[in-house]
Amino acid sequence: MGLSLGEALQQAGAVSALTFCGRSQEPPSHPLFHSEGARYVWGLEPPPPGTTAVCLSVPDDALEEVAHALAGRGDAPPGCAAFHLSGSVSADPLAPLHARGYSVGTLHPLQSVANPHGGAERLFGSGYALSGEPEALAVGRRLVAALGGRIIRVPASRRPLYHAAAVFASNYLVVILDAAVRSMMEAGVEGPEARDVLLSLAQGTLDNLKALEPEHALTGPVSRGDLETVGLHLRSLPVRERELYARLGAAALEIVGAEMPPEIRERMAEMFEDTE
């Protein structure tokens, strides 16, 4: 994420210089380090005068350690903000930097970046959970504005819920599609073809959700109250996929069940419960 964010800001013309500090002697294989304006440093060095933002793009459990290490390099350059990119924690791990004169905050890009090559393009227009001290907020707003992003304000106490929502929309979508591909392959469709056709189907569903509320975007046997088809699916699927299907089916039933005849809704709920 750090590489993608830096590249996006460079593409937007929002930075005059970028410095990446890392744990390897050699820089990562990335186009940034073949262009002007970006440099790589082995280890941690203090930001030079004129630096306006420092972003800690490290795992959550390393934030406090890295913040202490950077604080040990000296006071903040005047007007410099320090952010971490975590979605689930507040700015508390940056307290050592606050003590050194940094204004501290959080800047979490609400986007899925699985590969730093090409990740920058996804950050334009994305949501960004921004919080922190007034000076950090001002810096963060400028960065998000340069990327055409949308600022999301989440109270510190509710950041775990915010981040869990992101996991549902991104990580667990991958889990569901992986189960779909496996099931499609069990039906005899080759892996690459199964993946392609199911991704097309998933994109159609996402397009529906842009225009419709969930209860109207939901299609398929649960939304129709089709007990026979749901039962056929449950009898046909392997154990792992059957359990996932039943849990998700029960959740789908909560979305659309109010529109069904009570006896259909109750029978379908029993079918899902009997699977667990």
pLDDT, position 37 = 83
Q: Does residue 161 surpass a pLDDT of 90?
A: yes
Mean pLDDT of 141-157: 96
Query: Per mean pLDDT, which range of 99-103, 117-121, 231-235 is the poorest?
Result: 117-121
Q: Does residue 158 surpass a pLDDT of 90?
A: yes
Residue 147: other Cβ atoms inside 10 A:
20
Residues 196-222: pLDDT tens digits?
Answer: 999 999 999 999 999 999 999 999 999
> How are strands ordered across the β-sheet holding 81-84?
53-56, 81-84, 103-110, 127-132, 150-152
Residues linked to residue 105 through DSSP beta bridges, in sequence order: 83, 132
Query: Torsions phi, psi of 104, nearest 5?
Result: -115, 150
Q: Does residue 257 surpass a pLDDT of 90?
A: no
Q: Does residue 48 surpass a pLDDT of 80?
A: yes
Q: Does residue 84 surpass a pLDDT of 80?
A: yes
Question: Domains in the chain, ordered, with CATH?
Answer: 2-155 (3.40.50.720), 169-275 (1.10.1040)
pLDDT, position 118 = 87
The torsion defined by the Cα of 265, 268, 273 and 275, in degrees rounded to 10, comes to -170
DSSP 27: P
pLDDT, position 176 = 97
Average pLDDT, the chain: 95
pLDDT, position 117 = 87
Let me know: does 124 contact 8? Beta carbons within 8 Å.
yes
Q: Does residue 276 surpass a pLDDT of 80?
A: no
pLDDT, position 264 = 95
Mean pLDDT of 11-27: 93
Residue 148 confidence class, pLDDT cut points 50, 70, 90: very high
In the numeric block, which tokens belong to residue 14? 């929002």
Mean pLDDT of 220-242: 95
Residue 231 confidence class, pLDDT cut points 50, 70, 90: very high
Residues 162-205: pLDDT tens digits?
Answer: 999 999 999 999 999 999 999 999 999 999 999 999 999 999 99
